[in-house]
Each structure stands twice: as C-alpha cells, then as structure tokens.
Chain A
C-alpha cells in the first residue's frame, strides 16, 4: 500500500523537480553520454578521422616524411598528377575494371540466387549455398597465390580448361590485354558468393503469398521474373550495385598479389593492371611521394562519392518499390 501511495504521489513532485533543475540534469546526462562514447570516439579520431583529415591536409603541401619543413603548394599536387600519363592510365584501368566487373558480378549473383532459390527446398540446397559463399571467407592473399598457379600459361588449370573447350590458350596475367580480366575472374570468384547471399535474402523477403498470387494469375518463368521478382528486388539490387562498386573501386590485395606480389612489378605488365588504389600505394610507400598519393586518394574519394550519388539518383527514379 505504502508503495502504491508513493507511486501515485510522486509524479507531481518529480515534474516540478525536473522543471527546477532541468539544466543540471541535462548536463549530467550529457556528460554521462559523452563519457560512454569517448573510448570509441578516441579510437576513431586517432586511427580513422585523424589520418583522413591529415591526408586531406598534406594533399595541398609538398610534404616529406623525412623533413619537418613542408611548403604549401595549393593545387600543385593535383596539377602534377594530371600531367602524369600513369595517373590517367590508372583511372582508365579502374573504370574498365568497375564498369565490366560490377554488372557481371551483380547479374551472376542474381542468377545464382534464383537458381539457389529453386534448389534450396531440395536436397543439397544448403550445401550449394555454402559452396558458393565459401570463396568469400577465404583470405584474398592466400587464394590469390593459388590463382597465380591457375593462371600459369604453361601448366595452369585455366588453360587446361580452355584447351578442353577447344579454345586458344591465353597468357593470362602475363598479357597486357588479359591481365586485368584475369584479376576480374579472381574477384568474381571471390566476391560473387556475398552478393548471391544478399540477393537470396532479397528473394526471401518477397512475401510468399505475392509469388503464389502471381502463380495463380498465370505468371511463371521469365514473366514472373520480369514482373514480380525484378521490381521487388529493386532495393537489394541498388544495395548490391553500390556495395560492389565501392568494393571494386578499392580493389588492391588481389591485384598486388596476382600481378607482382612482394617481388615487385605489381600493376604490370606495362601498367595494364595499375588501378588507382595500387598507384596510390606505390606512390606513397614505394616512391614515398605522400603528398601526391594523398591527392590521388582525394580524387578516388570524390569519384566514389559521385558514383554513389549517381546510383542513388538512378535508384530514386527507377526503384519505386520500398
């Protein structure tokens, strides 16, 4: 009873109390809140935002890791970049890599997801899903080395398969024309499982009754895909394309390992696999032109931002189902 009475009497008291020292309470609450996020904020500031801001800063300076005096050069680093053919080559390589790889990855992942959806109810469906996802959990550097062997022109598996299919053998990583496509093949193998699983989740989120209603409405096969699955997968397709674009624009490890590795020469032959992230790495850590590398990073950042905004604009216009 006493408890009940105090419960009924408390509200007016606490209301007036809140009114009188609302500032004090608010500040106390804020201090506690900031205190709680402080540790992770510090980690982020030290290792993420800090370097990022510092990077943006040195992009406008002639900065040297071995000397304390750096001189402001304005857009000088950017102008210098624009006069280097290898920079344009790297942009072109990256564009080629992204424009080909993203649609191929998305389409293949979608196709695999549709096949798996059919098969998941049958025996072995779960195993096939695991099988397709498995490459994605392997370390890039380790499996890249295996693919170096696969792409070996003399005794690699890739040429064995081509020979079996009565197709001419290729020089793969040693060819100016095929080196970047070889990297694409590896990346496709490594990443398609992730996007397949994303598409599978998208398919699973389509209400079963809607699919059944379409079935009784006479839809099947291509018509079912075009009119029901595809429009209802709109949001997940957008997500997959954005994620794949960002991931491919930043591809580094497999190019580094497949085309040269620690022995040098990565990005070859003849700069044919030098994408911008590889060029940034080489400029900064091989040639120690940190300012130039920073300027390149900023350009890459702007490019990724622009691409994502364009994709969002397209999605807003054409993905009308949310």
Chain B
C-alpha cells in the first residue's frame, strides 16, 4: 500500500503531447478514478504509474520514494486490463500464482494465498480450468484475483468492466468497491464511464486533451464543475449550457441569450451586484442541470420558454428533449409531463441552481475573489 505522487509529470509520443505537465497526489488507501473521453490521456496516466510508459519529464513517487526510474517489473503494482490479459497457456491457479512465484515465495504459501483470494472472488471452483473455458465475467474475476493475490502497493485498473454486460458491470462495480474496503489498497481506476467514476470513487480526476480538468469528490464535481467540459461530462442528460452576455437593464443587469436576443432575463439584485464585479458586460455561459427545472425555490427563478419534442419515460422519471428557439434543452422530471408536444411551456429554473462560466469555459465562482480579466 502506498501513496502516489506526480511531480510535473508529462508524456510526449514523438512530437505529440499526450499528458501535459501534471501535479497529482493520491493518498494511501484512496479509490481514485480517472475519467475522460477516449484519447484524453487517462490510460497514459495509469501506464505511467505502472511503469509501462516512461515519463518525458517529472517524477513519480510511491510513499515519497522515486519510482519513475524503476522498471515496471520491480514496482509491485497490480494491474487489471480491459481485455483481462490472462495468460492463455496457464491454468487459473497458475495465472494467479505467477506473480507470487516471481517473489520467490514458498510453494505451500502461494497455494494457500491463491485459494484464499479465489474464495473471496468466488472463483475457487475454477482454479484447475484454463482461460478458454471461462466466461467474460469469470475472466474478469481471475484478472482481479491475479493482481490482488500479490498484495500490491497500488492497484491499477484500466477500464476493467467495459467488456461486460450492463448487469454484470453493476454487480462488479459494487464488488470492486467492497474489495477495496476490505483490502484498503490505493486504487487508480481508469474509465470513460461517468457513472462508474461517480459511483465508485473517493475522488475523481477528470482528464481531457491530456490535461487535468478537475480533481474532486463526486459531489464536488457534480455540484461545482470547474468548467463547461466537466459540467457537460457528468450527468445524463448533460447540463444545458446557453451562450449569451450580460447587458445593463434598468437599474440592474440582464442575461441576453445569443440565440434569442429579444428575450432578456433580468438578474435578481444580489446576483446582478456580484455579476457586475465578475463579468461586467462580457460574454458568459449559463448552465443548468436537466433536473433543476421546476424545483421549489424560496428565491427568484430564471424563466425560459420551452417547446417539448420528445418525451422518454424511464419508469421512475421522464426525460424531455426540446428546444428554446433553436437551442436544444433537456429536462428530467419525476412528475408525469403533459403529453402535449410542440406546445410552448414556461420553465422556471431557480437562480441558485444556475452555473456560470466565463467565455473560456471556466467556472465563475461568485464566492471567490474577482478574477482579473485580461482586456484585449
């Protein structure tokens, strides 16, 4: 078990940058998920920890001890691959004891450990079989067991569940989380699935284009996304983001949407005051989550017109997709909507549930000191 630290770590493949200089600290025993779209550099980050890639700059430390100059075979990491990567020519028990044999542990002790872990993972009946005889879910368990049995310093998982069907994936999600609670091994878990990242992580690291966008707890990331990318990446349907600008309006300020400039939305007094400090009259993005619509609020609300186009029932709730002029808007509600398409509705979004973003996509944090804007 170990803590992991990245100091200014970057990775180039030829002239292509796959990971920008990165600082990162993962405390001992944490379940840390790395999430991002394909090609975002999340797997590279994991492979750097494993030693399967060498960083172009910077240092990687386990428990304060430098490991980036150590080869992968001496780092004692347990890795689980997307395609399981089980040794096809060995039995399951040989697969699981392979790593322990390299550590020169007595045979009897190896057998005992393998049996122990196999029992926890409910694969003790498969030990004599060969990988070809196993189902996908069983192979996944073997891959987990093979990494676990060595009691590695860190546990690395590269999209381990993406080859499984939905039901099995949900079950394995819980089991991996439980295993983590039992063994308390620092785990870095790479996935492109935001649900997986949200449900499993102690902390999430969002990566895009080789750069870390935000690191935080699942709640933090959902409630205070650092930028539009993070805001839209989490939540389904994605956050509605509307481009526009703040313009003077009577005594106060109003939001003028780009796609419907006629419709000015005046800001409540306190927001206007802070808005003036932060953005003045520059372009701005307003975002709201599909489920924010129609929430009870003691304060004032943002009122927008909405034409529903499709209504999807998910049993427990409904997803409604429609438009405000030609701006697509998605809603999520547990109240059965009136099944009347193409009729203009008025939506009320509490101003407290509205996320504000600068022109460059980064979050406007009204609580924080005013950001100095660079004038052109």
Contacts and interface: CB of A to CB of B under 8 A. Distances in A.
Interface of A: 207, 209-210, 212-220, 223, 227-228, 231-232, 234, 320-321
Given A207-B85, A321-B88, A213 B79 contact: yes
Interface of B: 50-52, 71-79, 81-83, 85-89, 98-99, 102-103, 143, 146-147, 150, 156
Contact of B52 (A212, A219, A220, A320): A212
A88 to B, nearest CB: 42
A213 B73 CA distance: 10
B74 A218 contact: yes
Per DSSP, chain A at the interface is helix
A292 to B, nearest CB: 48
A231 B89 contact: yes
15 contacts: A209-B81, A210-B86, A210-B88, A212-B50, A212-B81, A213-B87, A213-B146, A215-B73, A216-B51, A216-B73, A217-B73, A217-B102, A218-B103, A219-B98, A223-B102
Contacts of A212: 50, 52, 72, 79, 81, 85
Nearest to B97: A217
A232 B85 contact: no
Contacts of B98: 214, 217, 219, 227
A219 B73 contact: yes
B87 A216 contact: no
Given A212-B79, A227-B98, A220 B73 contact: yes
A232 B52 contact: no
B363 to A, nearest CB: 38
Given A209-B85, A216-B79, A227-B87, 17 more contacts: A209-B81, A210-B85, A210-B86, A212-B79, A213-B81, A213-B143, A216-B51, A216-B72, A216-B75, A216-B77, A217-B150, A218-B74, A218-B76, A219-B102, A227-B98, A231-B89, A232-B89
A218 B89 contact: no
A216 B78 contact: yes
A302 B82 CA distance: 49
A226 to B, nearest CB: 11
Nearest to A211: B85
A321 B86 CA distance: 13
A316 to B, nearest CB: 15
Contact of A228 (B75, B78, B87, B150): B87
A19 to B, nearest CB: 42
Contacts of A228: 87
A216 B85 CA distance: 12
B71 A210 contact: no
B83 A320 contact: no
B79 A218 contact: no
Nearest to B71: A220
B78 A218 contact: no
A210 B103 CA distance: 19
Nearest to B158: A209
A218 B85 contact: no
Contact of B99 (A209, A218, A321): A218
The 4 closest A-B pairs by CB, nearest first: A218-B102, A209-B85, A217-B99, A321-B89
